[in-house]
Amino acid sequence: MVSLSVLISARVGIGAASAGATPDHYTSAGARRSLEHYTGAKVQAEKPEALWGLDNIHMGYYPHLSGDGFVRLSFAQAADALTQRMVEAAGINHESTVLDLGSGRGLACLQIAQFTGAACVGLDLTPGNVARSRELASQHPELNLMFVEGSFTSLPEVIASARFTHIFSAAAFVHAHPELPTIFANIQRLLASGGQLVVSDFVAGFGRVEASAETRLHWYDRTSVPCCLHSHAQWTELAEASGLRLLRYEALDEHQQHGYLELAAAARAHGMFALADSYRWSAQSVRAGHVGMNLALFSARGGRLAGSQEVNNAAAASGGAAESTTVVGLAPELDTKGVGAIGSAAAAQHYYTVAGGSRGHYNRILGPDNIHTGYYPHLSSPSLVRLNLPQAADALTERMTRLGRVNSSSRVLDLGSGKGRSCRLLASLTGAACVGVDLTPANVERSKEAAPPGLRLRYFHGSMTALPVEALTEPEGAGEPALFTHVFAQLSLCYVPKEVAAVLAQARKVLAPGGLLVFADHTAGDGQFEGTAATPPQSAGWYRRLHMGSPPRSHGAWRRLLHEEGFTIRFYENIDDHMATSYRDAAATASSLDLVSQDGVPVAEQYREQVWTLEEGHNGMFIAVVSP
């Protein structure tokens, strides 16, 4: 195997690939051919750059579309912002070795090296692109850059024999969708153990409508891409079928549409009216769901979860306290005390009433009024402060709030609202109105008791599978039905895995047009929910302790269910490592308090057992934003 250091130092050039391997319309020459087609005349060299920006060959990311308060970027600035967002998502740093597949004119590789200090190798099929890339590299001898001519569907040997911590690609795979299985298989071989793929690609929207004649003319024909592409869901399934593990997925259709409108305006300003019309048609194709764009992050199999090597002295300690404290709510015996079968409403009510009581473990380990694990920003950006578990639980609510774009005009329904902490935080952050529904009377009472004056909060006792009528009516609307801009659910749907379809149907019914379902939930390993794979004893013990009636779905099964139920996945993030960190923190706290459950097992040991199930892939957690 050739090491990357040898590869870069060799500065190897590869001969031209065989003709017809991959179209090159996103090269400078391809862009000029497109312009010439619409203008009917030879195009000056600066014309593509005038529309797309110098050396840029891909669409962009517009922060103002994802949140308030951001400056509106130009098309070229948005392209740079997409590269930066991909770098941040993948955690590329000065120790990274990056391969850019379909590297174009070298701009993304250059920016990756400038942003992070990483070594970057670009692979592109087009001699003109490679020549321009090498020119850029020669202007920056302080950066570790190399560019190779060749195809990512048939890798040059000098690339195929190397290994990379990260593979990056923007707007390149679109030219070879029939060969995606080969591309993803190549990527699996190129990634070092635990390495990551970060990619932005074009897709056929959400795959529920057929490409129109206008889409075929103004998008597929103009871009020289054979119709039709894979949809968001099909694209993801192909990647996972190769063995890649999905960590994050964003549908950037809205950003793509905005980009085409920006291009249309620029083309019109330069007198290219037919091309401007074509770009506007392209924007319409995106809006109609015929064409789309993604940003996806995957990891290679064989890596461990972030934080798995942390030395936690408190969790590893053997105790030392003079007297142990017995806590309730973590013991299997709780299932047989006449409160109902595991997974029943009565058992769940009893569990949360007792676990959240004065002798329960929730307030002491998870923090006051908190009933769920959290999100740790430092796992995605190491420069950020490391939170404790109660802070991370609030950070999860804050992240869901931002991803859902909740604001002062939003109306939020929180399913399984617990003690009201998430509703309180959401309302205080944004000014939104929040209605919480929870199965446990004690939780509803505490929610009402802790509600600060001035916030628009209401809480009701009821089930998410049969929502109480009073929660669904306007407070001052003479019984008029209420519609919500958002439905939230934090680690609650896992308690009704066999009724999730019914809950999704209820969410669809109460969401206003354009509304979003924003939720975080636990997962099991592949086949546990369906009964086609054995449930490890450690996972089974966790399900019993939390009174889950059956294992929850896996990551993949969740996404398939959402697709089958007609929901569009706007954002999906695997946060298994955040859940594992939560349990490590919980174990440390339980150990420092020397807590013992009713069955005599140290509480810290039970939490560490759950960390093991996460590291082995038997359980997990995710955040999703979906629309009906």
CB 382 within 8 A of CB 602: no
Tell me the mean pLDDT in the region 104-123.
96
Least-confidence region, from 48-52, 102-106, 523-527: 48-52
Q: Are 113 and 63 in contact (CB under 8 A)?
A: no
DSSP string, 171-234: S-GGGGGGGHHHHHHHHHHHEEEEEEEEEE-EE-TTSSSPPPHHHIIIIIIHHTPPS-PPPHHH
Contact 233, 207 (CB under 8 A): yes
pLDDT on residue 451: 94
How many residues are given for the chain?
Answer: 628
Whether the per-residue pLDDT at 302 is higher than 80: the answer is no
Q: What tokens appear for 12 in the block?
A: 């190897």
Which of the residue ranges 76-90, 182-196, 240-254, 599-613 would you say has the lowest mean pLDDT? 599-613
- Tell me the whole-structure pTM to 2 decimals: 0.85
More confident residue, 302 or 347: 302
563 vs 571: CA distance, rounded Å: 13
Please list, in sequence order, all residues whose beta carbon lies within 8 angstroms of the beta carbon of residue 416, skipping any fewer than 6 positions away.
437, 438, 439, 464, 489, 490, 491, 492, 493, 495
Average pLDDT value for residue range 576-594 = 93
- Band of residue 596 on the pLDDT scale cut at 50, 70, 90: confident
Domains, the chain, in order of start with CATH, read 4-299 (3.40.50.150), 326-627 (3.40.50.150)
pLDDT of 548? 85
Residue 334 in this model has a pLDDT that exceeds 80: no
Look at 37-46, 561-570, 585-594 and tell me which has the smallest mean pLDDT: 37-46
Contact 397, 490 (CB under 8 A): yes
Going by C-alpha positions, the residue among 118, 94, 97, 93 that lies closest to residue 3 is: 97
Q: Answer whether residue 50 shows pLDDT above 90.
A: no
The confidence score (pLDDT) of residue 377 equals: 94
pLDDT of residue 25: 38
Q: Once rounded to an integer, what is the mean pLDDT over residues 292-302?
A: 90
Q: Where are the alpha helices (DSSP H) in 456-528?
A: 500-510
Cα(134)–Cα(140) distance, integer angstroms: 10
Q: CA distances (Å), 254 to each of 65, 518, 562, 568, in order?
A: 8, 18, 20, 13
What confidence tens digit (pLDDT) does each residue in 191-233 have?
Answer: 998 899 999 999 998 866 788 999 999 999 888 888 889 999 9
Which run of H or E residues covers position 525?
none
- Name 364's Cβ contacts closer than 8 Å, sequence gap at least 6: 327, 589, 593, 595
Tokens for 598?
A: 């009713």
Half-sphere exposure of 489 (CA within 13 A, CB side): 27
Judge whether residue 627 has pLDDT over 50.
yes
For residue 338, give every residue at least 6 positions away whose Cβ sits within 8 Å of its Cβ, in sequence order, or none: none
Of 233, 295, 284, 292, residue with least CA distance to 79 = 295
pLDDT category, 26, cuts 50, 70, 90? Answer: very low
Residue 76 has what pLDDT? 93
Q: Residue 364: what pLDDT?
A: 76
Residue-level pLDDT at 2: 44
Mean of all residue pLDDT scores within the chain: 84
Q: For position 17, what pLDDT does the model report?
A: 35
What pLDDT does residue 159 have?
Answer: 94
Nearest to 596 by CA among 317, 350, 330, 335: 330
User: In the chain, pLDDT over 70 holds for what percent of residues?
Assistant: 81
Q: Dihedral angle at the C-alpha atoms of 77, 83, 84, 87, nearest 10 degrees? A: 180
Distances (CA, A) of 58 to 83, 570, 575: 10, 21, 29
